[in-house]
């Protein structure tokens, strides 16, 4: 899936019409959100043209998006804050949690990480965006914190439910317990370029951590 498609889906999730039309869902300040969308798409167009984040001035983004510089500054303090928004727009959506069992919910969370890893490997533009983003420590921190914090909160909630329902032993703190499930998948998607990410990997990890590795 291209960045643009993902971006459209992001807008669908947020209750707005995609750029290709459809009746706009009125919520909050739709007019303002259309402007934000244009600005984010401006950054994406420039990225697709090969312009680096470093060479992207607010002025150039404004010109590409067909808005004034003040319109951008009214929404974001500067480039870094805007780029965080762009990175969010390229993300895979958080997976739906089926909610039937802790096991299935954990598989769904790991599938989200795996899909994000596969998307990163297959999209040169996404790779370039992530590589460039690392040169902006503040941006990277903001983005990373949000992604990680959101995932941790979801996993903690699933595990708390599992301990309460007696599906999990409760001897570890929930944060460490979460790392036992997500850590192996993150090691393969974030810390490795080439560890295989086959179908069924999420199930393997979750089921093995639940059952243990002793014979």
Interface positions with a copy of itself (CB under 8 A): 131, 134-135, 137, 148, 166-169, 171-172, 175-177, 179-180, 182-188, 190-192, 195, 201, 204-205, 208-215
Please give the distance of CA 207 from its chain centroid, rounded to a whole number: 25
Minimal distance in Å, beta carbon 42 to a copy of itself?
28
The residue (of 70 and 195) whose beta carbon lies closer to a copy of itself is 195
The residue (of 131 and 153) whose beta carbon lies closer to a copy of itself is 131
The residue (of 48 and 167) whose beta carbon lies closer to a copy of itself is 167
Minimal distance in Å, beta carbon 27 to a copy of itself?
35
Minimal distance in Å, beta carbon 140 to a copy of itself?
10
The residue (of 32 and 52) whose beta carbon lies closer to a copy of itself is 52
User: Angle CA(64)–CA(70)–CA(75) in degrees, nearest 5?
Assistant: 90
Give the separation between CA 34 and CA 177, rounded to whole angstroms. Answer: 41
Minimal distance in Å, beta carbon 170 to a copy of itself?
9
Query: Would you list the DSSP string of 78-143?
Result: SHHHHHHHHHHHHSPPPPPP--S-HHHHHHHHHHHHHHHHHHHHH-HHHHHHHHHHTT-HHHHHHH
Sign of CA dihedral 15, 53, 42, 50: negative
């Amino acid at each position: 899936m291209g960045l643009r498609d993902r971006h459209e889906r992001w807008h669908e999730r947020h209750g707005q019409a995609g750029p290709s039309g459809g009746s706009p869902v009125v919520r909050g300040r739709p007019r303002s959100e259309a402007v934000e969308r244009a600005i984010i798409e401006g950054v994406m167009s420039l990225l697709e043209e090969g312009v680096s984040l470093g060479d992207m001035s607010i002025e150039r983004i404004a010109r590409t998006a067909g808005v004034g510089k003040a319109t951008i500054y009214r929404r974001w303090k500067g480039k870094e804050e805007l780029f965080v928004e762009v990175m969010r727009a390229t993300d895979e959506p958080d997976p739906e949690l089926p909610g039937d069992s802790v096991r299935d919910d954990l598989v769904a969370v790991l599938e989200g990480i795996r899909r994000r890893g596969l998307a990163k490997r297959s999209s040169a533009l996404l790779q370039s965006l992530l590589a460039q983003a690392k040169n902006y420590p503040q941006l990277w921190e903001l983005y990373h914190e949000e992604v990680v914090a959101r995932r941790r909160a979801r996993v903690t909630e699933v595990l708390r439910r599992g301990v309460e329902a007696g599906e999990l032993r409760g001897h570890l703190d929930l944060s460490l317990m979460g790392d036992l499930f997500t850590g192996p998948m993150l090691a393969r998607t974030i810390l490795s370029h080439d560890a295989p990410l086959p179908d069924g990997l999420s199930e393997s990890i979750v089921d093995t951590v639940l059952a243990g590795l002793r014979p």
